[in-house]
Amino acid sequence: MGILNVTADSFSDGGRYLVLDSALARARQLVAEGADLLDIGGQSTRPGYTEISEAEEIARTAPLLRALATEFPRLPLSIDTYKPAVAAAALAAGAHIVNDIHGLQGPCGPALARLAADTGAALVIMHHDPALSATCLPALPASPSPLLESVLTFFRRSLDLAAAAGLPADRIILDPGIGFAKTQPQNVALLRNLHALHALGCPILLGVSRKSVFGHLLPELATPADRLEATLAATTLAVAQGVQLHRVHDVAANRRAALIAAALRAG
Protein backbone atom coordinates (compact mmCIF):
# COMPACT_ATOMS: atom_id res chain seq x y z
CA MET A 1 0.00 0.00 0.00
CA GLY A 2 1.65 3.20 -1.17
CA ILE A 3 1.21 6.26 1.05
CA LEU A 4 0.14 9.47 -0.67
CA ASN A 5 -0.48 12.37 1.71
CA VAL A 6 -1.94 15.54 0.25
CA THR A 7 -1.33 17.39 3.49
CA ALA A 8 0.68 20.35 4.68
CA ASP A 9 2.03 18.77 7.85
CA SER A 10 2.43 14.98 7.62
CA PHE A 11 5.53 13.88 9.50
CA SER A 12 7.45 12.58 6.49
CA ASP A 13 6.17 14.23 3.29
CA GLY A 14 3.92 17.07 4.40
CA GLY A 15 3.57 19.81 1.79
CA ARG A 16 5.17 17.88 -1.06
CA TYR A 17 1.99 16.75 -2.84
CA LEU A 18 -0.60 19.41 -2.10
CA VAL A 19 -0.79 20.41 -5.79
CA LEU A 20 -2.82 17.95 -7.86
CA ASP A 21 -0.19 17.53 -10.58
CA SER A 22 2.47 16.72 -7.98
CA ALA A 23 0.19 14.22 -6.28
CA LEU A 24 -0.61 12.51 -9.57
CA ALA A 25 3.08 12.31 -10.45
CA ARG A 26 3.80 10.73 -7.07
CA ALA A 27 0.92 8.26 -7.52
CA ARG A 28 2.30 7.22 -10.90
CA GLN A 29 5.70 6.69 -9.33
CA LEU A 30 4.23 4.52 -6.55
CA VAL A 31 2.30 2.43 -9.07
CA ALA A 32 5.39 2.04 -11.26
CA GLU A 33 7.32 0.84 -8.20
CA GLY A 34 4.75 -1.92 -7.67
CA ALA A 35 2.10 -0.54 -5.32
CA ASP A 36 -0.94 -2.82 -5.22
CA LEU A 37 -3.13 -0.08 -3.77
CA LEU A 38 -2.81 3.55 -2.65
CA ASP A 39 -3.85 5.20 0.62
CA ILE A 40 -4.80 8.86 0.17
CA GLY A 41 -4.76 11.16 3.19
CA GLY A 42 -5.82 14.79 3.43
CA GLN A 43 -5.66 15.20 7.22
CA SER A 44 -2.36 14.66 9.02
CA THR A 45 -2.63 12.61 12.22
CA ARG A 46 0.97 12.93 13.36
CA PRO A 47 1.52 13.87 17.02
CA GLY A 48 0.36 17.46 17.53
CA TYR A 49 -1.53 17.61 14.23
CA THR A 50 -3.89 20.45 13.39
CA GLU A 51 -7.51 19.52 12.66
CA ILE A 52 -8.83 20.79 9.33
CA SER A 53 -12.43 21.14 8.18
CA GLU A 54 -14.30 18.45 6.29
CA ALA A 55 -14.58 20.81 3.33
CA GLU A 56 -10.83 21.32 3.15
CA GLU A 57 -10.12 17.62 3.50
CA ILE A 58 -12.58 16.83 0.70
CA ALA A 59 -11.07 19.54 -1.49
CA ARG A 60 -7.65 17.97 -1.04
CA THR A 61 -8.62 14.35 -1.63
CA ALA A 62 -11.69 14.05 -3.87
CA PRO A 63 -10.14 15.58 -7.05
CA LEU A 64 -7.10 13.33 -6.69
CA LEU A 65 -9.25 10.24 -6.17
CA ARG A 66 -11.35 11.07 -9.25
CA ALA A 67 -8.22 11.48 -11.35
CA LEU A 68 -6.69 8.25 -10.04
CA ALA A 69 -9.90 6.28 -10.56
CA THR A 70 -9.93 7.46 -14.19
CA GLU A 71 -6.26 6.80 -14.86
CA PHE A 72 -6.01 3.54 -12.90
CA PRO A 73 -9.51 2.03 -13.00
CA ARG A 74 -8.38 -1.32 -11.56
CA LEU A 75 -6.23 0.09 -8.75
CA PRO A 76 -7.81 -0.15 -5.28
CA LEU A 77 -7.85 3.24 -3.56
CA SER A 78 -8.12 3.93 0.16
CA ILE A 79 -9.15 7.14 1.92
CA ASP A 80 -7.38 7.73 5.22
CA THR A 81 -10.04 9.56 7.25
CA TYR A 82 -12.18 9.30 10.36
CA LYS A 83 -14.85 11.73 9.08
CA PRO A 84 -17.97 10.24 7.45
CA ALA A 85 -18.52 13.20 5.10
CA VAL A 86 -14.96 12.91 3.80
CA ALA A 87 -15.27 9.15 3.45
CA ALA A 88 -18.57 9.51 1.56
CA ALA A 89 -17.08 12.03 -0.85
CA ALA A 90 -14.04 9.81 -1.38
CA LEU A 91 -16.12 6.72 -2.09
CA ALA A 92 -18.21 8.74 -4.56
CA ALA A 93 -14.98 9.88 -6.23
CA GLY A 94 -13.72 6.32 -6.70
CA ALA A 95 -12.24 5.07 -3.43
CA HIS A 96 -12.86 1.47 -2.36
CA ILE A 97 -11.55 1.41 1.23
CA VAL A 98 -12.01 3.61 4.30
CA ASN A 99 -9.02 3.69 6.65
CA ASP A 100 -10.21 4.75 10.13
CA ILE A 101 -7.44 5.50 12.64
CA HIS A 102 -10.00 5.34 15.47
CA GLY A 103 -11.06 1.80 14.63
CA LEU A 104 -14.79 2.64 14.66
CA GLN A 105 -14.47 3.70 18.30
CA GLY A 106 -14.26 7.43 17.67
CA PRO A 107 -17.40 9.59 17.84
CA CYS A 108 -18.19 8.93 14.17
CA GLY A 109 -17.43 5.22 14.20
CA PRO A 110 -21.00 3.92 13.80
CA ALA A 111 -21.60 6.28 10.87
CA LEU A 112 -18.42 5.10 9.16
CA ALA A 113 -19.42 1.47 9.66
CA ARG A 114 -22.88 2.10 8.17
CA LEU A 115 -21.34 3.96 5.24
CA ALA A 116 -18.99 1.08 4.46
CA ALA A 117 -21.83 -1.42 4.81
CA ASP A 118 -24.15 0.57 2.54
CA THR A 119 -21.57 1.26 -0.20
CA GLY A 120 -19.77 -2.08 -0.30
CA ALA A 121 -16.48 -0.51 0.79
CA ALA A 122 -13.83 -2.30 2.77
CA LEU A 123 -12.73 -0.86 6.10
CA VAL A 124 -9.38 -0.65 7.86
CA ILE A 125 -9.85 -0.73 11.63
CA MET A 126 -6.80 0.67 13.39
CA HIS A 127 -6.09 0.12 17.07
CA HIS A 128 -6.01 3.51 18.79
CA ASP A 129 -6.80 3.36 22.49
CA PRO A 130 -5.44 6.32 24.50
CA ALA A 131 -5.96 4.36 27.72
CA LEU A 132 -3.38 1.78 26.68
CA SER A 133 -0.36 4.08 26.86
CA ALA A 134 -0.92 4.47 30.59
CA THR A 135 0.40 0.92 31.04
CA CYS A 136 4.05 0.55 30.09
CA LEU A 137 5.09 -3.08 29.75
CA PRO A 138 8.76 -3.70 28.99
CA ALA A 139 8.13 -6.74 26.79
CA LEU A 140 5.36 -8.94 25.44
CA PRO A 141 6.01 -12.66 26.05
CA ALA A 142 4.83 -15.38 23.72
CA SER A 143 2.06 -16.27 26.15
CA PRO A 144 -1.03 -14.05 26.51
CA SER A 145 -0.40 -10.71 28.23
CA PRO A 146 -2.40 -7.70 29.36
CA LEU A 147 -1.12 -5.66 26.42
CA LEU A 148 -2.01 -8.18 23.75
CA GLU A 149 -5.36 -8.95 25.32
CA SER A 150 -6.12 -5.22 25.44
CA VAL A 151 -5.46 -4.92 21.71
CA LEU A 152 -7.52 -8.01 20.89
CA THR A 153 -10.38 -6.79 23.08
CA PHE A 154 -10.36 -3.45 21.27
CA PHE A 155 -10.54 -5.19 17.90
CA ARG A 156 -13.34 -7.51 19.03
CA ARG A 157 -15.35 -4.47 20.11
CA SER A 158 -14.73 -2.84 16.73
CA LEU A 159 -15.76 -6.00 14.90
CA ASP A 160 -18.98 -6.06 16.93
CA LEU A 161 -19.66 -2.44 15.94
CA ALA A 162 -19.09 -3.32 12.30
CA ALA A 163 -21.39 -6.33 12.51
CA ALA A 164 -24.10 -4.23 14.14
CA ALA A 165 -23.93 -1.88 11.16
CA GLY A 166 -24.23 -4.76 8.70
CA LEU A 167 -20.57 -4.77 7.62
CA PRO A 168 -19.30 -8.34 7.22
CA ALA A 169 -15.95 -9.37 8.66
CA ASP A 170 -14.63 -10.34 5.23
CA ARG A 171 -14.49 -6.63 4.31
CA ILE A 172 -12.41 -5.66 7.35
CA ILE A 173 -8.65 -5.23 7.73
CA LEU A 174 -6.94 -4.79 11.11
CA ASP A 175 -4.05 -2.41 11.78
CA PRO A 176 -2.25 -2.57 15.17
CA GLY A 177 -1.70 1.21 15.07
CA ILE A 178 2.02 1.34 15.75
CA GLY A 179 2.87 4.79 17.14
CA PHE A 180 -0.69 5.72 18.10
CA ALA A 181 -1.26 6.18 21.86
CA LYS A 182 1.42 3.63 22.70
CA THR A 183 4.66 3.71 24.61
CA GLN A 184 7.88 2.67 22.89
CA PRO A 185 7.93 -0.72 24.70
CA GLN A 186 4.34 -1.33 23.62
CA ASN A 187 5.17 -0.52 19.99
CA VAL A 188 8.11 -2.92 20.01
CA ALA A 189 6.14 -5.63 21.79
CA LEU A 190 3.37 -5.48 19.21
CA LEU A 191 5.83 -5.60 16.32
CA ARG A 192 7.28 -8.79 17.83
CA ASN A 193 3.85 -10.37 18.19
CA LEU A 194 1.89 -9.36 15.10
CA HIS A 195 1.17 -13.03 14.44
CA ALA A 196 -1.20 -13.09 17.43
CA LEU A 197 -3.63 -10.81 15.57
CA HIS A 198 -4.41 -13.58 13.08
CA ALA A 199 -6.60 -15.11 15.78
CA LEU A 200 -9.34 -12.67 14.73
CA GLY A 201 -9.46 -13.98 11.17
CA CYS A 202 -9.00 -10.68 9.30
CA PRO A 203 -6.10 -9.54 7.10
CA ILE A 204 -3.48 -7.51 8.95
CA LEU A 205 -2.08 -4.18 7.76
CA LEU A 206 1.15 -2.77 9.19
CA GLY A 207 1.78 0.97 8.99
CA VAL A 208 5.20 1.65 10.48
CA SER A 209 7.02 3.26 7.55
CA ARG A 210 9.64 5.86 8.61
CA LYS A 211 8.09 6.22 12.08
CA SER A 212 9.82 7.51 15.19
CA VAL A 213 9.73 4.05 16.79
CA PHE A 214 12.91 3.40 14.79
CA GLY A 215 14.54 6.62 15.97
CA HIS A 216 13.96 5.54 19.56
CA LEU A 217 15.62 2.20 18.84
CA LEU A 218 18.59 3.72 17.02
CA PRO A 219 19.15 7.42 17.79
CA GLU A 220 21.13 8.04 14.60
CA LEU A 221 17.85 7.56 12.70
CA ALA A 222 16.86 11.09 13.65
CA THR A 223 14.64 11.99 10.70
CA PRO A 224 12.07 10.09 8.63
CA ALA A 225 14.43 10.15 5.66
CA ASP A 226 16.97 8.13 7.69
CA ARG A 227 14.62 5.21 8.33
CA LEU A 228 14.40 3.21 5.10
CA GLU A 229 16.55 0.29 6.30
CA ALA A 230 14.66 0.20 9.58
CA THR A 231 11.34 0.09 7.73
CA LEU A 232 12.62 -2.77 5.57
CA ALA A 233 13.60 -4.69 8.70
CA ALA A 234 10.09 -4.24 10.11
CA THR A 235 8.49 -5.26 6.81
CA THR A 236 10.59 -8.42 6.73
CA LEU A 237 9.69 -9.24 10.33
CA ALA A 238 6.01 -8.66 9.57
CA VAL A 239 6.03 -10.90 6.48
CA ALA A 240 7.63 -13.64 8.56
CA GLN A 241 4.62 -13.33 10.88
CA GLY A 242 2.12 -13.59 8.03
CA VAL A 243 1.17 -9.90 7.75
CA GLN A 244 -0.49 -9.40 4.36
CA LEU A 245 -0.54 -5.60 3.84
CA HIS A 246 2.27 -3.09 4.29
CA ARG A 247 1.56 0.65 4.24
CA VAL A 248 4.82 2.31 3.11
CA HIS A 249 6.37 5.40 1.57
CA ASP A 250 9.16 3.52 -0.26
CA VAL A 251 7.25 1.00 -2.35
CA ALA A 252 9.99 -0.51 -4.54
CA ALA A 253 12.38 -1.31 -1.69
CA ASN A 254 9.67 -2.64 0.62
CA ARG A 255 8.16 -4.73 -2.16
CA ARG A 256 11.51 -6.42 -2.78
CA ALA A 257 12.08 -7.01 0.91
CA ALA A 258 8.58 -8.45 1.28
CA LEU A 259 8.96 -10.76 -1.72
CA ILE A 260 12.27 -12.16 -0.46
CA ALA A 261 10.88 -12.58 3.06
CA ALA A 262 7.81 -14.36 1.66
CA ALA A 263 9.97 -16.68 -0.46
CA LEU A 264 12.13 -17.57 2.52
CA ARG A 265 9.08 -18.10 4.71
CA ALA A 266 7.57 -20.42 2.09
CA GLY A 267 10.79 -22.36 1.76
Query: Which residues are catalytic, by number?
Result: 211, 247
CB 2 within 8 A of CB 28: no
| 3-class state of residue 117 by DSSP | helix
| 3-class state of residue 122 by DSSP | strand
CB 27 within 8 A of CB 68: yes
* Among candidate residues 221, 204, 203, the one with its CA nearest the CA of residue 212: 221
CB 133 within 8 A of CB 181: yes
CB 136 within 8 A of CB 183: yes
Euclidean distance between CA atoms 77 and 93, whole angstroms: 10
The counts of H helices and E strands in the chain are 9, 8
* Among candidate residues 104, 125, 86, 121, the one with its CA nearest the CA of residue 245: 125
Q: Which strand ranges, in their side-by-side order, compose the sheet holding 77-80? A: 2-5, 38-41, 77-80, 97-100, 122-126, 172-175
Question: Checking DSSP bridges between strand 2-5 and strand 38-41, what pairing results, if any?
Answer: parallel
